[in-house]
Structure formats: structure tokens, C-alpha cells
Amino acid sequence: MDKLKKKYKVLIVDDSDVILNFMKDFFKEYDFEVLTCSDGLEGLRVAAEEKPDLIFLDLMMPNLDGLKMLQVKSVLKDIQSIPVIVISANTVRRNVMAALEAGAYKVVSKPLNKDQIIGYVNEIFGGGNVFESKQVTEFEDKAIKNNLAKFFIETFDKKRKTINDAIRQKDAQKLKTVIHEIKGAGGTMGYPELTEISKEIEGKDFQLTTDWIFAEMKCNQLFIEIKQIEKEITN
């Protein structure tokens, strides 16, 4: 692997620990310095302090979402020129246009495509080959997804507890926050069933008792799917 001529610094802002882990490993493989944050407020602080060369930014996050972070960044002189690539599971036209109008360089959809990421990064840094794309074999691609799934399973107990607590306390915001993270992770790992179940839960208003009954049923379905993933990766 060719080393970078310059040690580029990239900031990844996403509330999904699976995506943060994936992006961190990917960029470190090419000798980038990698910074990570889980919400927009922290992202603004780190960007101002560290002045990264590039920011990858999720649109849907707690505290300060990606769109608001872009809007605030655009008026902060010290960081307004840092290029931003938005990553989102929902790339309908209005979301893409809103991100581009707020200052994003590009918008990429989840699950993330390595060749697309490499292409955009090379464009941003002058059109040259900042790093060369490596051909990923089917075996290597499966290994990448397997490692992501292992990381997800290893960290899921805490999420399961948060889900159960949120349902018991009828805390819609807490539930939607963790479910949103699982939705993004499902796409990144290549398990669309996790994404679809999570979308159904996120779509509820949680104004009625039946909404919570539905959420509990769907969360149990989610647990079953995750148990199946655990069996797959341990066989």
C-alpha cells in the first residue's frame, strides 16, 4: 500500500458506533489521522479545535443534526471552508438538496461504498490519487461485513438495555435515538431487515398505548433478528 504524501486529517460525525468503527478502520488503513464524534455539537467543537482536512457527516443525529451543523459551520470563519461529505440512509431529493444548499460537497447513501468514498476524497484533494482504490474481493467484502457485525453484537447488550428501559419508561426520544442507530448499522452491515424493522418503530408517534405495544412487539422481533446474526457470525 502506497503511503500518503501528506498525513490528512478526517473528522467523522455519526451517532452510529458501527459506522464510526467502519470509517475509522477504513481511513486508518490509508494512513489518515481519524477523529470521531457522535453528535453535531461535539463535531463543531472538534472541527474548530482540530481543523480537519475533511468532514464526513451523518444527517440524522441527536442534539444537533447534520443539517444544522452544516448551517452553523457555514458562518464560522475558521472552519467554513472545510469540505463536508454527508452520509445518509435517506437520500430522497429534498434531503440531498437541503444538504447541498447548506454547504455539503457531496451526499452519499448508506450502506457506504468504498470506491465511491475514495473517488470523492480524490476529487476534493485536487483530483489526484490521494489513495488508490484496492479491488475488494467477494471474500474480503464478506470479511469486512462479518467484522462489523461482530463489533455490533459485542456492543449490543447496552443498546438492548436502553431499548428495554425506554419501553418500560415510555421514553419515546430515548427509544428513537437507539433505534435510529440500529437502523444505520443495519444498512452498513448489510442486514436490511434491521433497517426495515427500525424504520417501522421510528415511524410511530407514541401518542397511544397501542404504539407502545407495537414498539415492544417490533423490538422483540429486532432482538430475534440480532440473535440470528450472532449465530451466523459465530458459525
- pLDDT of 91 over the 80 cut: no
- For the four alpha carbons of 67, 73, 75 and 81, in that order, the dihedral sign comes to negative
Regarding predicted confidence, which is higher, 232 or 213?
213
75: confidence class by pLDDT, cuts 50, 70, 90:
very high
28: confidence class by pLDDT, cuts 50, 70, 90:
confident
134: confidence class by pLDDT, cuts 50, 70, 90:
low
- pLDDT of 3 over the 80 cut: no
Give the pairing of strands 106-109 and 33-37: unpaired
- pLDDT for the residue 169: 96
Q: CA distances (Å), 81 to each of 48, 70, 76, 105, in order?
A: 12, 11, 9, 11
Q: Check whether the bond before 62 is cis (ω within 30° of 0).
A: no
178: confidence class by pLDDT, cuts 50, 70, 90:
very high
- pLDDT for the residue 116: 82
93: confidence class by pLDDT, cuts 50, 70, 90:
confident
141: confidence class by pLDDT, cuts 50, 70, 90:
low
Domains within the chain, CATH numbers bracketed: 9-135 (3.40.50.2300), 145-234 (1.20.120)
7: confidence class by pLDDT, cuts 50, 70, 90:
confident
- pLDDT of 145 over the 80 cut: no
Average pLDDT, stretch 12-21? 89
- pLDDT for the residue 225: 95
- pLDDT for the residue 129: 58
Average pLDDT, stretch 2-10? 70
* Nearest-angstrom CA–CA distance, 102 and 94: 12
Regarding predicted confidence, which is higher, 208 or 116?
208
* Nearest-angstrom CA–CA distance, 219 and 26: 31
Regarding predicted confidence, which is higher, 53 or 135?
53
140: confidence class by pLDDT, cuts 50, 70, 90:
low
- pLDDT of 70 over the 50 cut: yes
4: confidence class by pLDDT, cuts 50, 70, 90:
very low
For the sheet containing 9-13, what is the strand order? 33-37, 9-13, 54-58, 84-88, 106-109
Regarding predicted confidence, which is higher, 38 or 61?
38
